Structures are given as C-alpha cells and as structure tokens.
Chains A and B, each alone.
Chain A
C-alpha cells in the first residue's frame, strides 16, 4: 500500500502535479507504474513545447505496450527529467520523487482547481482496482 503525497494534486489518468508558483512539476502515480509493469522507455516532449490539458504530452513504454501520458495542465514545458533516458526503471522505483517527468509553466492556473486531492485520488484508485 503506498501513500499518495498530500501536497500533490492528481488526475483520473494517473498523473500527479506539484505546483510551486507558476511552475508545476508533473509525473505519473504509483498506481500507473504498477499497472504498466517494468518500464523500458519514456518519451518526453522537447523543452519549449506547448502542452494542453487533456492532450498527450508523451508516452511510457513497457516491453509489450505503450501508454500515452496526458498533460494535466496547459502551458509550456520548461524542464524535462533527462535521467529517465538512461534509467527508465526509476519510474517504477520512485514515481513520485526522483522520476518526475516534466516541469510546466502554467498558463491557466485555475485549471489546478479541477484536479483531485490526494484523498480523492486514493478513493478513485481504490474504487478502480
């Protein structure tokens, strides 16, 4: 049983958001990495890419499947986690910490309000499984 950090917000597509000022760090949740199994590759957008809430920003691959990652927010990608290129397994090991995916400069900050709290997300995945 893993805890979902209280100060994060979550989406039904199993992404997490950690907002500080107008920069949001984004990743996938423990539930997501568990469902995907051993992750072998992460495809991230280039820095400067404009992303939109609900649209794909990249993908995560296991040996036999590819899953799209949906952007929880609209904005511009300011940073990407380069370490995942050589060590995609980090996404299985530490999805909420070391294996963050991208940082986005939010352009529509009130999109945050539509996201789920840790408690709500916990209930959601509890119901899903």
Chain B
C-alpha cells in the first residue's frame, strides 16, 4: 500500500529485532472477547484515480456552476490563488501545533501576524489564534464574560445568527448560565434597545449583538454598549461577515469580539471547516480561551515567537481551564492571513465597497423589507412562497435567497438576499425580475 513505506523483508527484519515470529504476536495479548475475528466490512482499497472519480461523482451530484444569492453566515467571496498555494506547502499543511518553538517559527510568526491583523480590523487590543468557528466563539465569549464579571446571565439579540444562538444555548445549559433573548424592531430590522434595557439587570454578565445582524442590518453598537456598560455588563460584538470590517466602523465600544472568518478565502465547503476568533480589550487577556502567540527573544537576543499563557489551557489547568479547546483552526486561520495580506489595507476596503455597491444595486430593484442600513445582505419579501421564486430561479441556474420562515416564522415570505463582488449584474437583473410578480 502506497502509504505504508515498508517492504515485507523489512517487516521480517523488524519482527526479528523484536524477537517475535509473526505480526499477529503484536496484538495477541488483546483480550479474546475484544478481538475482531473478521476483516472490517469495508470495500478493498482503491487507486488514486478511483478516489478522484468517487468524489467527482459526489461533486457532480452537488450544485456546480450556479450563481448564488445565499449568505446567512456563509459568503461567496473570490479566493486568491495564493491562499491555496501557501497552505498547500507541506511545511504549513503537515506541521504540528507549534509547541516546539525552535522548529515552528513559520507557524508562530504567521499566527502573530494573524493576531495583529484581527486587532487592527476589530479595534481590539488582543486576539487569540482562532476558535473552531463563529458559532462556538459566541459561547466561549459568553463564558469569558461570566468569568470576568462574576455574574451569571447573558442577553442575546434575536438577530444574532439563529444557529449561533442555538450553540450558545447548548453550551449555556450546563454552565448555570441563563440565556435570554431580546427582540428587534419590525420596521428597521435593528435590535430593540428598549427591550434590551428592560431585560438588563445586575445579574447580566454580557449583552451579545451581531453587526451586520442576521438580516444584514447594521446595528447601533454604541447605544447597545452604553446600555450594557451602564448596568455593569460587558458588550460582546459578533460578526459573521468578516468582509464588512473593510468598510464598517470597528466595534471599539465592545469588550469582547467573537467572529467568523469564513469570508476570508475559506471555501463554503458545506459548512466547515471555518475559523472563529475571539478578540478583546487588553485587560481580558488572561481570560481568553485558546492559543496565544507572544513575541519574545531567543538566547541570542533575536526576535522569536512562542505560545504563551498556556496555564489558561486544558493541558495544564485541566478542570479549571478557560476552555477545553486543544486543536483549533490554525491552517484555516493561515488561509485568512494570506487573504488579508493579498488584499491589504486598500484592497479590503475596495472589496467591501464593491459588495456594498452590488447589494445596493439589487436593493434598488427589489425593495428591502427593513429600513435600517445594510452591507451586502438584505431582507426582501418574495412575491409568494419563497420556494416558488427560488424554483423559478433554479431553472436559470441561480440559487436564490434563504427563506427566513424557518428561523423567523413571523416574517412570512421574507427571504435573505446576499450580493458580493462575485455577483453579476445580469444575474441580479434575473433575480429582480423574479421578485416583481
């Protein structure tokens, strides 16, 4: 087998060196009742060509060559070729977690740059080396706020991504962390500040908001932060569309930022792997979960990087760790790092500006349901059941917007439409037409 680099004669030599005659003796000591006395019921191994064929058939059975207006937490952005070039290098792809700093300076340096860029983008002082994704970064941020404030409850906006809220609920249930939701304005699509204020109290550890929110609407972050702080709670700012940070004001009023970086060169890949981040104000550094890289020096005084503050983590603190996270999303974060480098300061802004223009072209033809300002996504009512308009669009090889009634039944036939720099005017015209009836 091509991945097993030993010849039969080498195996014989090694068995002889071990003082045994057959390979079976290596596992003869397994308890009889545990031994599997048959081969695994799986087809025999296949060639590389057949493997490619197998997956090509699966790929062919999954949409290819469609234009798409789906966003809702996973965004279609162009992936610069350099991203794959770099992450495909064996020294990055096949390397281990950088615990041995002397032979992992490549990974450590890249993570340090990543941490820096996340701080620059979000306006925070410190950032970790990634979480699994945006959805799990949210409960981790909530747990951080609980540790910091010593309070138990969190308030979350109903226009934070529904699946992020579900994950928060799952984690919170066993942490003794009550989670309460506050609503949104039916007219603007923004979070309801009055409802938030009514629910804030001395027991609230954090207020969690997302901007742009799930409807694509931009929130009044300062107002929410002021309210939270007035009551001694922290403000956790969540983002699902990282590209928005190219043009939107960074959430400097927030205490903790939890976000999803999928927009930065990470393929939609049917839901994962993605890369989440947690960033925060300086004073919360020791409460951050996940890995952290610090600059330091080696014995010759040269700048060198290493993992730090490991005492927060599971391998030392065990049951008192800030989180149980071990493996995170390093390679995905590297993809995002290369993306951010390729676009750079001007590029991210221009990219965001293009997204804005594309979505606003679409909204000039399909009236948004909400009046609040938006970035590259907005809610529009379909002329009838969303399945009908989407079926029509599929016939034109276009995947339409997300029907929102699955998460917000009160919104009836509303759909969530997303246009990015990859959306073509001609396709937007087709969608607009389909929405007119």
- List A residues 5-58 near B (Cβ within 8 Å): 40-41
User: For the complex, what is the distance from the CA of A18 to the CA of B162, rounded to whole Å?
Assistant: 57
Among the listed B311, B316, B317, which residue makes an inter-chain contact with A41, where contact means beta carbons less than 8 Å apart? B311
**Chain B, interface SS category:** helix
When C-beta atoms are compared, the residue in chain A nearest to B307 turns out to be A63
Residues of A within 8 A of B286 (CB): 41
**Residues of A within 8 Å of B, CB-based: how many?**
7
- List A residues 70-106 near B (Cβ within 8 Å): none
A65 at interface, CB cutoff 8 A: yes
Residue of A40, A64, A65, A66 with highest tally of chain B CB at under 10 A: A66
- List B residues 231-260 near A (Cβ within 8 Å): none
**Residues of B within 8 Å of A, CB-based: how many?**
5
Q: Give chain B nearest CB distance to A95 CB in angstroms.
A: 20
B314 at interface, CB cutoff 8 A: no
User: For the complex, what is the distance from the CA of A61 to the CA of B308, rounded to whole Å?
Assistant: 12
B109 at interface, CB cutoff 8 A: no
Residues of B within 8 A of A61 (CB): 311
Q: Give chain B nearest CB distance to A48 CB in angstroms.
A: 13
- List B residues 392-415 near A (Cβ within 8 Å): none
Residues of B within 8 A of A66 (CB): 311, 316-317
Residue interface mask B309-344, A partner, CB < 8 A = 1: 011000011000000000000000000000000000
Residues of A within 8 A of B310 (CB): 63-64
When C-beta atoms are compared, the residue in chain B nearest to A63 turns out to be B310
User: For the complex, what is the distance from the CA of A18 to the CA of B419, rounded to whole Å?
Assistant: 70
When C-beta atoms are compared, the residue in chain B nearest to A61 turns out to be B311
Residues of B within 8 A of A65 (CB): 311, 316
Residues of B within 8 A of A63 (CB): 310-311
User: For the complex, what is the distance from the CA of A40 to the CA of B317, rounded to whole Å?
Assistant: 15
Residue interface mask B78-118, A partner, CB < 8 A = 1: 00000000000000000000000000000000000000000
User: For the complex, what is the distance from the CA of A41 to the CA of B311, rounded to whole Å?
Assistant: 10
Residue interface mask B299-313, A partner, CB < 8 A = 1: 000000000001100
What are 14 residue pairs bridging A and B, where the CB atoms are less than 8 Å apart in the complex? A40-B311, A41-B286, A41-B311, A61-B311, A63-B310, A63-B311, A64-B310, A64-B311, A64-B316, A65-B311, A65-B316, A66-B311, A66-B316, A66-B317
- Besides A66-B311, A66-B317, 6 other A-B contacts (C-beta < 8 A): A40-B311, A61-B311, A63-B310, A63-B311, A65-B311, A66-B316
